[in-house]
Amino acid sequence: MEIQDGAELCFPQLLNTSCRKPTRHRFQDVFLHIVMWSISVLTVVLNLLVIISVSHFRQLHTPTNILLLSLAVSDFLVGIVLLPGEIYVQTQCWFLGDVMCSLYFYLLYIVFSASVGNMVLISIDRYVAICHPLHYPTRVTVTKAKLCVFLCWFCSVFYSSVVFKDALNQPGINNSCYGECVVINSYTADVVDLVINFVAPVTVIILLHMRVFVVAVSQAHAMRSHTAAVTHQHSVTLSTRKSELKAARTLGVLVLVFLICFCPFYCVILAGTSPHTANLVFLMFYLNSCLNPLIYALFYPWFRKAVKHIVTLQILQPGSCEVSMLQ
């Protein structure tokens, strides 16, 4: 590798094999990195609040919230590991070694796969709740939700291990010089990954939510038609159905934001565009992890109430885990 005179090297002692240090003086790059660090901090704090809320308050231990907890864990990992790692890769020479480079991309794929899997599980949960409400309490339980979350993460780890088998066995195999951190898959592997990790799950998500939307609209119309003539018992039932429909709308927004943020990511990976466009797409990809808890804050009163208890340190009081969050 030929190095130009005056170029700053990552490893000055390796004149012929060292990478050059990234240039970081453009205003756009500095601004982008400030935004990414801000997103990273917000992502960590907001998702940590979700994790503490669902874990601490016993009333929030529902199947749906278990799935949201799993999604929050993957988003938390994005904020505390992946986003800082992305900033480091873009602005610094890679001094952590080839093994850490491979592990970084390995964790990236695990978290990404788990996030997609969590979205599929959330869509299935809403489908059963809206389309088969009488069977929901028996078909979807906390134990089954925990089992599904475990299988989701296990499959993500297994799938990522297969994809990164060569990179894990031969760290640095794709690096062209010392100080670089790159993992490159073959075009065939990228196409297979596109189908397994994006096209198939996104198709399932869209189909399920289309069905949920149709059923939700018909149920909402039926409830409006019979509201005036119901008994107290029926009022309780209608209140439950309204709660389920509201949850379906909220999680529908969650899935829509997920699709908006993730679709450009795969388009850029397969098509290949300018680095500036790629940076914006990766920013959207990571921004999704910050937006999810904001959606909870906008639509879930229990999350706002839980955050208030956490911020004011009321969760440190004896018996705070039994406080009602759903009233």
Q: What pLDDT, on the 0 to 100 scale, is given for residue 110? A: 93
Query: Which is higher by pLDDT, 16 or 106?
Result: 106
Nearest to 289 by CA among 83, 13, 26: 83
Burial class (CB in 10 A: 0-12, 13-18, 19+), 257: middle
Could you tell me how far CA 142 lies from the centroid of its own chain?
21
Q: What pLDDT, on the 0 to 100 scale, is given for residue 189? A: 79
Residue 2: pLDDT band with limits 50, 70, 90:
very low
pLDDT digits (tens, 9 = 90+) for 186-235: 777 778 888 888 889 888 988 888 888 787 777 666 666 655 455 444 45
Q: What pLDDT, on the 0 to 100 scale, is given for residue 232? A: 46
DSSP bridge pairs for 20 = 9
Q: Could you tell me the pTM of the whole model?
A: 0.85
User: Residues 255, 123: contact at Cβ < 8 Å?
Assistant: yes
* For range 66-94, the mean pLDDT: 89
Q: Say yes or no to pLDDT of 248 above 70.
A: no
Q: Say yes or no to pLDDT of 273 above 60.
A: no
Q: What pLDDT, on the 0 to 100 scale, is given for residue 157? A: 95
Q: Determine the Cα–Cα distance for residues 191 and 116; give it in Å rounded to an integer.
A: 17
Could you tell me the domains of the chain? Answer: 27-322 (1.20.1070.10)
DSSP bridge pairs for 66 = none
Token pair 């278990």 in the structure block, residue? 66
Residue 296: pLDDT band with limits 50, 70, 90:
confident
* For range 262-287, the mean pLDDT: 69
Q: Say yes or no to pLDDT of 240 above 70.
A: no
**What type of residue sits at position 10?**
C
Q: Determine the Cα–Cα distance for residues 18 and 2; give it in Å rounded to an integer.
A: 9
pLDDT digits (tens, 9 = 90+) for 111-141: 989 999 998 998 899 889 888 888 888 999 9
Whole-Å CA distances, 97 to 10, 79, 81, 191, 264: 13, 22, 16, 29, 30
pLDDT digits (tens, 9 = 90+) for 4-62: 444 578 887 777 778 887 766 667 677 778 888 899 999 999 999 999 999 999 999 99
* For range 286-290, the mean pLDDT: 87
Q: What pLDDT, on the 0 to 100 scale, is given for residue 54? A: 93
Residue 272: pLDDT band with limits 50, 70, 90:
low
